[in-house]
Amino acid sequence: MAKVFNNYKGGFITVYEVCALLLTIVFSIVGIYLIIVLYAANGLITEAKKAVKVFNSNLPGVLSKMRGTVSSVENLIVTTQECLDLIRCKIISPLYSAVSLLDAVKVGYKAWRIIRKEQSKEEPAKTESEPAKADM
């Protein structure tokens, strides 16, 4: 075995003894770190428990407010639907009828203009063939 260091008795210590000492130091540091982490985790767990208790105590009030809000929204939806039905039945239908009547008048006016245009084309031909009446 290789002797590396002098020990306190004057003898040498081996490489294996040095490795064992280093591993002991490393494991003690890791152990201390784990103790700190577990202590912090314990604090986090207690905080989480407190938060859950507060949440559970406030949850019934929040749910009742949520139910009230949902019922208000449902009432609003029903009221809006009734208003839209009223608008569709009482306002849109007469407007649709008026628009249909105006469209019919528009088609009739176009037909009347076409007829007048055709009559005006035929009238100059009649007046040219009868210029004698205008002179007399």
Q: What pLDDT tens digit does each residue of the chain (136 aa) get?
A: 455 566 566 566 677 888 899 999 999 999 999 999 999 898 889 999 999 999 899 888 888 889 988 998 998 899 888 888 877 777 667 767 777 788 888 888 888 888 888 888 777 655 555 555 555 4
The letter for the amino acid at 112 is W
For residue 86, the model assigns a pLDDT of 77
Distance CA 113, CA 40 (A): 94
Closest CA to 105 of 113, 69, 79, 71: 113
Distance CA 22, CA 34 (A): 18
For residue 117, the model assigns a pLDDT of 85
Question: What is the residue extent of each domain of the chain?
Answer: 3-128
Q: Are the CB atoms for 46 and 53 separated by under 8 Å?
A: no
CA 18 to chain centre: 65
DSSP state of 2: -
Q: What is the CA radius of gyration of the chain?
A: 51
The letter for the amino acid at 23 is L
Distance CA 79, CA 60 (A): 29
Pair of tokens at residue 95: 């407007």
